[in-house]
Amino acid sequence: MDIFEAIKKRKSIRGYKHKEVEEDKIKKIMDFARLAPSASNRQEWRFIVVKDKDKRKALSKAAKNQSFVEEAPVVIACCAETDNHVMACGQLCYPIDVAIAIDHIALCAVSLGLGTCWVGAFYEDEAKMILSVPEEIRIVELIALGYPEDGTVSLKERLPLEDIVFKEDWGKAYYK
C-alpha cells in the first residue's frame, strides 16, 4: 500500500477484533515512529506499549471509560521526555513532535492492516500512575491499536480545498 492509499484509508477505529497484534508488526510500527522528524532533532518522544489486559482496563477508565481503549489489544502511551523547549514561533516542541510520530504510527498501522484511534480524552495523572511514569514525563496521547472489527473503509468528510488553502494572504482562495 502506498502512502496516498494509507492516508485515504486511515480513520479512527473504535471497534477491534479479539486478535493479538504480532510482535513484528509492533516493532515495525515503533521503528517508523522513531524515524519521525522533530524540532532540532530533539527526539523527545517515548512510547510505552501496553498489552496487559488489566492495564488496558485501567487506562480505559482513565480515558473517561472509553471501552474501545480496553478492547484494543494494544494501547501505546505516547510520551515526551522534554525540557519544554519553545520554538521561535512560540510553540512548544514536544506536543508537535509527538503528534508527528503518532501520525507515523497511524499510517504505518493502516499499511499493515491495523487500525488506530488517537485518545486525547484521558486523565494524565491517572495514566501516569497506571504506567509508573515519572512526574517530569508528559503523556501526550494514548493510541489504541489493533485489527479493526469493521473492515470497511469510508472516505472521511473534509472541507473543500478552497475553504482551507489561501494564496499569499489570509482569505484569498488558492483554489477556485
The grid coordinates of residue 171 equal 482569505
The average pLDDT across 37-63 equals 97
Q: What total number of domains does the chain contain?
A: 1
Name the least confident of 5-14, 67-76, 97-106, 111-120: 5-14
> According to the model, what pLDDT value does residue 155 have?
66
- From residue 78, alpha-carbon distances to 72, 131, 149, 175 in Å are 16, 12, 24, 36
Give 92's DSSP letter: B
Percent of the chain with pLDDT over 90: 89
Helices 53-62, 124-131: crossing angle, 10 deg rounding:
160
DSSP, res 18 = S
The answer to the question of residue 169 being in a domain is: no
pLDDT for the residue numbered 44: 96
Question: Is 174 part of a structural domain of the chain?
Answer: no
In tens, the pLDDT along 109-166 reads 999 999 999 999 999 999 999 999 999 999 999 999 999 998 665 667 889 999 999 9
Residue 48: phi and psi, rounded to 5, are: -115, 115
Please count the other Cβ atoms lying within 10 Å of the Cβ belonging to residue 136: 10
Three-point CA angle 45, 69, 10, nearest 5°: 70
Q: Helical H runs in the chain?
A: 3-9, 23-34, 53-62, 67-71, 93-111, 124-131, 161-164
* 108 within domain boundaries: yes
Q: Report how many helices (DSSP H) and strands (DSSP E) the chain contains, helices first.
A: 7, 4
Task: Please check whether residue 86 lies inside any domain of the structure.
Answer: yes
Q: Which three cell numbers stand for residue 154?
A: 469510508
Given pLDDT bands bounded at 50, 70 and 90, which one contains residue 12?
very high
User: Residue 105: its pLDDT value, please?
Assistant: 98
For the domain that residue 34 is a member of, what is the CATH number? 3.40.109.10
Largest CA distance in the chain: 53
Please state, in angstroms and as integers, the Cα–Cα distance from residue 127 to each residue in 54, 131, 135, following that order: 13, 6, 11
- 75 within some domain: yes
Does the residue 158 lie in any domain?
Answer: yes
Confidence at residue 156, expressed as pLDDT on a 0 to 100 scale: 74
Residue 140 forms part of a structural domain: yes
Residue 34 has pLDDT above 90, yes or no: yes
Dist. CA 138–CA 97, nearest whole Å: 13
Residue 112 lies in a domain: yes
Q: Work out the average pLDDT over 84-95.
A: 96
Q: Which domain holds residue 94?
A: 3-164
DSSP 86: B
Residue 74: what pLDDT?
98
Q: In the predicted model, what is the mean pLDDT of the chain?
A: 95
Q: Is the pLDDT of residue 13 over 80?
A: yes
How far apart are alpha carbons 18 and 149 in whole angstroms? 9
